Structures are given as C-alpha cells and as structure tokens.
Amino acid sequence: MSTPPAQEYRPGLWIRGITPPLRIADFKVAAFDMDSTLISIECIDEIADAVGRKAEVAAITEAAMRGEIADFKESLRRRVALLEGAPASALESVYADRLLINPGVEAFLAACRSAGIVTLLVSGGFTFFSDRVRERLQIDETRSNVLEVENGMLTGRLVDQPWGDICDGAEKRRALLETCERAGVAPREAIAVGDGANDLPMMEAAGLSIAFHAKPKVRERAMVSIEDGGLDRALQLFDDLPGAV
C-alpha cells in the first residue's frame, strides 16, 4: 500500500492520511518512546561518555535509529557491551546533569491526562532513566531494559525480564497492544509517538502516529511529523481541547 503524500498543515507541522481537526476524546491510550522523544538525549551515548566510548556507541545508535541496522537487539547488545566497566554512578550523573525533558512534552501529557488517556513509556533505553521519567511526567506504565550492575560497575550485559530480553520495536508494539487490550480499546484508539526506526512497529499499529523531530524513515511514514517546535505542536490537530484553534 502506497503512503499518501505529506501536507504542511501549519509551519513545521506535517500530516498525511488524516484530516484535522481531530478529537482527543477519540483516543484512549498513548505510547511514547523516551530517548530523543520525551527527553533530550540518548542515554546510552551519555553513559558511554563516562568510559571514553561515546563516539563509537553514538555511531551505532544513530545507524540503528535511521534503520540501517536491521537487528535492534544486536545493535543494543553491541552498545551495552561497550559500557563494561563504567561506574554505576555514571547513570546518576547522566540523569542529574544531562537529561532534559523535551519542549512541549509536559503540555502534551497534561492534555492526555485531562482526556483520561492511559499513557505508556516504551523504550529501548534503561529502567534507571525510564522509571524516573515515568514518575516525573506522571506516566501510567513503562517498559524498558535493565542494565546489569555488579560491585558498582556495569557488566556490559542486560538482565532478562518477565516479558522478555530486550524492548525492541516488536516489544514496543506488543506493549502498546497489550495496554489497549487491558483498557478494552482498539489499537485505532491509540496514539504512538517516536523518532527512530524501532518506533515504527508501534506507530504503524496505532490509530495516530506522531514523529517528533524524527529520522527521515520515520517522518516519511508517520501520520503527523513535528519538524519545528515542541511536542505540544500536535495539540494543534485537535479541536476539543481548552483554547483549541
């Protein structure tokens, strides 16, 4: 099936295959990627900085997010292996000193909460950060990866969890669909927001997909692409919000 052409709905806000205004009341679940979507950094790249391997890790991250590495799990294992020997204290330093919430995120999530939407953070990153971001942003649920720590140092390995080994694109999609099922709603009543290739499976399962300052492959397939401004730009698509124009 061919992808419909994009139209610039407003400056820096592109749409395809939808006709605004939409109604936020039509959506019951919203799933969000974390790194470079809800937050300003790729956490794994910043942890790698602590062991002098940021350039090497960041190059793999960038290739994976562009979709040039087909196996996300393998790319993540390669990057995590390069973190071996980093002090666990580096995680706290990254969170405290480098992690910022992206513009417009809090406003978009506030609108979701006001509409009674169940929110889900699904990340190929790590629970150390996702648990804190979840609490900070009052997100309902989260799924991400656990870094193994021994004697205060990262081992370069991940810890298996009850749902599986690594939260990749397929797991993000599964988490979204499971959340919809628990909420008793159809996937068409879900919103999915991301920026990288591993977000596409959940974005394509959702009724509304939003690319936020995303890689070209993601912008080209999302229903909404925010290319200028914060995540709250997406609220301009809805006419049932206070102050909607």
17-41 in b/e form (b: 16+ CB < 10 A) is eeeeebebeebbbbbbbbbbbbbeb
Token pair recorded at residue 31: 């799933």
**Strand 7-10 to 13-15 pairing:** antiparallel
Does the active-site annotation cover 35? yes
Q: What is the helix, strand, coil percentage profile of the chain, to 5?
A: 40, 25, 35
Q: Kindly tell me the sign of the dihedral angle through the C-alpha atoms of 58, 63, 69, 72.
A: positive
Q: What's the token pair of residue 142? A: 């989260």
Q: Are 232 and 107 in contact (CB under 8 A)?
A: yes
The phi, psi pair for 48, rounded to 5°, reads -60, -30
> Which residue out of 26, 35, 97, 239 is catalytically annotated?
35
On whether the CB atoms of residues 16 and 7 are closer than 8 A, the answer is yes
For β-strands 141-150 and 208-212, DSSP reports them as: unpaired
- The single residue of 33, 49, 168, 199 carrying the catalytic annotation is 33
* 65 vs 212: CA distance, rounded Å: 13
> Which amino acids are annotated catalytic?
33, 35
